Structure 1
Amino acid sequence: MLRSLYDRLAPDHEMRITARDFDSTYALLNAWNKPYLQIGKHGGNTLMGKLRSYSDRLVALIEFAEKEKPDFLFGLASPEGLRVSFGLQIPNIIFNDEPRSTGVVKLSLPFAEHLIVPEPIPVEWFTQYGIAMERIHRFHGIDEVAETVYLVPDPNKITKVGLAPEQYVICRPEQTAAQYHMKTLGEGDTKLPCLLDPLIKEHPNLTYIIVPRNISQRRNLEKHYKGINNIKFFNYLDPIEQFLYHAKFVVCAGGSFVRQSALMNVPSVEYFPLGLYPQERFLIENGFPLQFLRDPEENPNICIEAIEKFSSYHANLEKTRNLENPIDLAMNLFQKGSSA
């Protein structure tokens, strides 16, 4: 989402991007080919690791701010970034669509001057963490609209890596380092095979693209699917929008991939232990092709059923273009502040 924001701001402003070492962040930024600063890393799936990484990144960001003297902060709900913003009185506009990450929002939302959130999420889910109602700005849509609405489909982006439109499935396992998985899954664990094994058996002629969250997860999945030739592993997908748009089906343990694919009218299944989230409910109620379950063991055949149920659905962006874009809201707030 911040890539869209960068493209809107860069023509008229000097930009600095900071990023921490987490998942495929660095790889995607390298592919984007924009300069960025590597500051800190994710703390992993232990409480001590998270605390140490917070402390280290906070110090590094203070040094960055002292040297670069930024005038404004755009970002996601970063506890370290917002603490620096508050301490140095740097104005900010922040995006958040994940109040389930309670540690993050407790440490960040009180310092947000403007918080942009999807309208489907109850506003009380944010105000309970110490941010005043007047600092919250809601839009009719979800965050993934920002990276979806202006997509120009280009099948050449996927054919050059040996894929054909509507002949592959994208699969994304759990983010085991997230707070909500720490007590139930080890770093390399995943329940993805519970859904994927019957799907492969039912549709053996499709190609299956698995995008693991970490090295341990990849090793375990490679071992599980050893010798199966129609499975390919990718560390990241770039440009992700093209891969999602041209897929036949997407199954994901968590929101971003599957929300974006559903916005593209691509049949999708999400599994997530904390239950159906407001964004997914919004998509389902507005007719986007998405199904949900908490635990793959509840219905291992849900992917097979979803492909059949949504067999008449093909990728298009018609409905998505009727939703609001959070970047438009951010730009309006920024321009009002700049002219004040």
Structure 2
Amino acid sequence: MKIWIDITNAPHVRFFKDIIQYFKDQGEDLIITGRKFGDIHKLMNLYGHDFISVGKHGVSLIDKLKRSTERVNELADLVSSEKIDVALSKHSIELPRVSFGLGIPSLYVLDNEHAEAANKLTLPLCDRIISPRILDVWKLLSYGLDPNKLIRYNGTSETIHFKSFKYNENIFEDMGLNLPLSKTILMRPEPSLASYLDAECTQSVLTPIVDVLKAYANILVLPRFKQQAKIFEGIENVTLLEPPVDTSSIIKKSDLVIGAGGTMNRESAILQTPVISCYPGATLSVDQFYIDKNLMFRSNNVNEVVNTALSMLISNNLPKPLKFDDLFQLIVDNVYDMKK
């Protein structure tokens, strides 16, 4: 069986790493493509998975359109001569379009109902779509999704990130971090380059939060790109992390996570590290899933974030039992079923 997997964002590397390894172990023939964006290439090399680099990410709207169009052309040339049985992706813009055009069955993993442009370009073209149950189906239908193609599950896509996770309790020591204070906060800035968020690359909503909390805790910042890293350079008690790093162990070892994005916040909730979301866009349903379970606090008010952070740093909440559907098996089963 020949499977094509397209990876277009850094968190998707963690999402697919165990799926890729499983199909390899089963002797399946894989074609893995990944665009040049963020830390995709570094992470793929870290996990030891061979891949073909195709295209890159655009910044402005016109640039995004041109880069995506170029990438469709390149991917079409690459896969048209291959006898691919099933194509698999998570929020790839190009894979569903190429698969549809070439008559390749495609399985699409969806978890952002607010990515309007991406969803309109992809959902009507996919053969099957796997989505968290908490997502608003009516909103998805407005993008052209066929409800008969929708497969829903209890949980979020991040649950799959920890299938083979092994916690490194000595992660801070192994990284040689200088952490003079007793508490440590991991922070992740907003996805400023994403098409679904209107944000400024040279600013961050985390800046005023850092200005206060740096006196109470060591601050670890994991920026998304070099320009974003410059925002936090030279600040006392602030350490910039350079990918690739073992983010899962860092999250679990930290006393608190404050994130202006999404993936790392949800990973923190699953690992049950206290987490505050200050994502500057509309609340995502997948975030609301954990907010409803009291595993994530959300606010865009700086004073509220700071006060809640200080309270969380001294609390001793016990872990709560969590139950999710087996997303890994759901994906694997559907890939094989689509081959029939």
Deviation at 1:50, TM superposition (A): 0.5
Does residue 209 of structure 1 match 2:202? Answer: no
- Superimposed CA distance per residue, residues 87-127 of structure 1 (whole angstroms, 9 cap, x where no aligned partner): 11111111010121111111111111110001111212212
Does residue 116 of structure 1 match 2:130? Answer: yes
Distance 1:301 1:199, change over 3 A: farther
The answer to whether the Cα contact below 8 Å between 2:109 and 2:131 also exists between their aligned partners in 1 is yes
Distance 1:220 1:309, change over 3 A: closer
TM-score of the aligned structures, taking structure 2 as reference length: 0.88
Does residue 308 of structure 1 match 2:300? Answer: no
Partner of 1:251: 258
Partner of 1:30: 45
Pairs within 5 Å for 1:271-286:
271-286=278-293
The answer to whether the Cα contact below 8 Å between 1:82 and 1:112 also exists between their aligned partners in 2 is yes
Distance 1:308 1:77, change over 3 A: same
Q: What SS does the corresponding residue of 1:287 show, helix, strand or coil? A: coil
Within 2, Cα distance between the matches of 1:48 and 1:145?
35
| Matched letter for residue 21 of structure 2 | D
Does residue 141 of structure 1 match 2:141? Answer: no
Partner of 2:187: 171
- Superimposed CA distance per residue, residues 312-336 of structure 1 (whole angstroms, 9 cap, x where no aligned partner): 136x6x634x211322211122232
| Matched letter for residue 308 of structure 1 | S
* Pairwise CA RMSD: 2.1
Within 2, Cα distance between the matches of 1:48 and 1:190?
24
Seq. identity, %: 22
The answer to whether the Cα contact below 8 Å between 1:251 and 1:258 also exists between their aligned partners in 2 is yes
Distance 1:307 1:336, change over 3 A: farther
| Matched letter for residue 283 of structure 1 | Y
| Matched letter for residue 87 of structure 1 | G
Within 1, Cα distance between the matches of 2:183 and 2:81?
50
Q: What SS does the corresponding residue of 1:209 show, helix, strand or coil? A: strand
| Matched letter for residue 123 of structure 1 | V
Deviation at 1:138, TM superposition (A): 0.5
Runs of 4+ residues deviating >6 angstroms: none
The answer to whether the Cα contact below 8 Å between 1:266 and 1:313 also exists between their aligned partners in 2 is no
Q: What SS does the corresponding residue of 1:75 show, helix, strand or coil? A: strand
Within 1, Cα distance between the matches of 2:36 and 2:321?
35
Distance 1:309 1:216, change over 3 A: closer
Deviation at 1:304, TM superposition (A): 4.1
Deviation at 1:77, TM superposition (A): 2.5
Deviation at 1:29, TM superposition (A): 1.3
Deviation at 1:21, TM superposition (A): 1.4
Q: What SS does the corresponding residue of 2:219 show, helix, strand or coil? A: strand
The answer to whether the Cα contact below 8 Å between 2:190 and 2:280 also exists between their aligned partners in 1 is no
The answer to whether the Cα contact below 8 Å between 2:46 and 2:244 also exists between their aligned partners in 1 is no
Does residue 328 of structure 1 match 2:334? Answer: no
Within 2, Cα distance between the matches of 1:181 and 1:112?
24
Within 1, Cα distance between the matches of 2:289 and 2:197?
24
Between 208-217 and 302-311, report the one with greater CA deviation.
Answer: 302-311
Q: Unpaired segments of 5 or more residues in structure 2?
A: 1-14
| Matched letter for residue 252 of structure 1 | G
Q: Unpaired segments of 5 or more residues in structure 1?
A: none
| Matched letter for residue 282 of structure 1 | F
Between 22-31 and 145-154, report the one with greater CA deviation.
Answer: 145-154
Q: What SS does the corresponding residue of 1:144 show, helix, strand or coil? A: helix
Within 1, Cα distance between the matches of 2:85 and 2:155?
29
Deviation at 1:179, TM superposition (A): 2.0
Pairs within 5 Å for 1:177-196:
177-182=193-198, 185-196=199-210
